[in-house]
Structure 1
Amino acid sequence: MGLNPHETTPRCEVYELGIVPYAEAWAWQKSLVQRHRDGPQPDRLLLVEHPGVYTLGQGSTLDHLKRPPEQLPYPLFRTERGGEVTHHCLGQLVGYPILNLKRHQTDLHWYLRQLEEVLILTLAEFGVMAVRQPGLTGVWVGHCKLAAIGIKVSRWITMHGLALNVCPDLRGFEAIVPCGITDKPVGSLAQFCPEVTVDIVRPVVVKHFAAVFGVVPTTENVALLDL
């Protein structure tokens, strides 16, 4: 879908894709980034859950794996995002914004803080007061990390994004040192709100993403991606 030059508030197409294998969602992101390079595109937000997987940042080593790669319980991918190793699994809501930051602010620190703000506002709706940790990226409750952020920005087009632990099985994190942080555990929203589900949290994330980035969200059919 093209851009409307007469729109005063930018539109953001939201795709609620359900459970998607990591490699498939990664390929979608790269295809959408290429579309931005080929010509004007609307901002997009892909929302998914992944079956169990581990991902490494572009410059990360294997030092934060507690087992050899072939002994990990789930597949391992090296990606172009920043940051160290992390884990995705069912019960974790993953958001991949494909944004043109020239429409927002061409400032990577600003973008990271905006993603954190989306998560902080989302958790606040469930009575959980999350904060930032100085010098670190992500969202925390005390010393417990509830959400991770890792991005890639090229020509001011974003990919990768955020992962909020809603109600996952956290045992998959035991095989790694998440984000290379040794002294702070990983937690989930379900530890504070036992009945919470990804389906409950997803629209709250969309609402706050739209407010923080100043966009109008439109829910789109996956077929419109035409990938």
Structure 2
Amino acid sequence: MGVPAVRRRHIQLRTAVAPDPPDLPVSRGFYTIRPGRLSYRAGLALQQHYLRAENRPDADLLILTEHPPTITLGRKTDPRHLLTSADELQKKGIEIHQSARGGSITYHGPGQLVGYPLIDLTRHKRDLHLFLRTLEEVLIAVLRRWDIPANRREQSTGVWVGNKKIASIGIGVQGWVSWHGFALNVSTDLNLFQHIVPCVLQNVQMTSMQQCLGTAPVPETLEDALIRQFADSFAASHMGDYEKQTTTQA
């Protein structure tokens, strides 16, 4: 499930220390949902299902998935930042979707680890900036486990390696429950970012874990590391896979 691996080699993981982790109150815990690759529309429907209070467990959720080639337009997208016509993108097999998330235009595709945290922010001070910074810290700490010197930039949400961007973040909030989330480039075809102006920054370059390391990490190993770091950064316990829990209870 998740991001397809390319050539595999042994990579020693480091114990990462996230810089200046935010001070968050103790959460009630979270479940993970790992459905494998989903269309962007299906991923949206899955989030919307669990945004409804009657479907949500008494815990937060972290959905980890991957999408086929898709360009999404956030609420602040400038139409000029879509550099290729919709007809041309369709011919190339790339979908376009308007999105309710914050931020501008971005690309999703195979080789990305996409995370959708459905978090009850009433338990996290109802502070969207703190929430965004914490998501950045999760990704920074995970990347540093692979000795990738990730960092953040002031006034530019996301995660960077030097002057190249490796992860994008854009969230929405409904009833103080977050949705949408982050996309980490693992073995993504970076050439496909040429169809957009990512991050509203002209000439910005994207990178990936594969580009930084020479190979991509094993998907399950990466997902497990991210889940552990998510638990640490949000001071929350990982309660396992939600679908397995519901199957057991049934």
Query: What is the TM-score normalised by the length of structure 1?
Result: 0.89
Once the two structures are TM-superposed, the CA of residue 219 in structure 1 deviates from its matched residue by 2.5
Residues 1:112 and 1:221: Cα distance change in structure 2 (over 3 Å): closer
Distance 1:122 1:47 in 2: 15
- Asked if 1:100 is matched to 2:100, the reply is no
Q: Which amino acid aligns with 1:189?
A: M
Indicate the residue corresponding to 1:4 in structure 2: none
Instruction: Describe the shift of the 1:164–1:178 C-alpha distance in structure 2 as closer, same or farther (beyond 3 A).
Output: same
Residue aligning to 1:49: 66
Q: CA deviation at 1:221?
A: 5.0
Separation of aligned partners in 1, 2:119 and 2:246? 15
- In 2, Cα distance between the equivalents of 1:32 and 1:132? 30
1:80-133 alpha-carbon deviations (Å, 9 max, x no partner): 001111011111000000010111221010000000000000000000111111
* Structure 1 pair 9–185 and aligned structure 2 pair: CA distance change class (3 A): closer
Shift of the alpha carbon at 1:62? Answer: 1.6
Unaligned runs of 5+ in 1: 1-7
1:210 aligns with 2:231: yes
| Counterpart for residue 3 of structure 1 | none
Amino acid at match of 1:81: R
User: Is 1:177 paired with 2:197?
Assistant: yes
Question: Which runs of at least 4 in structure 1 moved beyond 4 Å after TM superposition?
Answer: 223-226
User: What is the identity, as a one-letter code, of the residue corresponding to 1:130?
Assistant: A
Match of 1:125 among 133, 137, 145: 145
Per the alignment, residue 23 of structure 1 pairs with 41
What CA deviation, in whole Å up to 9, does each residue of 1:19-67 have, x standing for no partner?
111110101111111227x887310000001111110002323210111
**Distance in 1 separating the partners of 2:105 and 2:65:** 19
* Corresponding letter in the other structure for 1:50: H
- Runs of 5+ consecutive residues of structure 2 not aligned to the other structure: 1-25
**Aligned twin of 2:136:** 116
Deviation at 1:194, TM superposition (A): 2.3
What is the percent sequence identity of the aligned residues? 35
Please give the root-mean-square deviation of Cα atoms over the aligned residues, in Å: 2.0
CA distance in 2, matches of 1:18, 1:205: 16
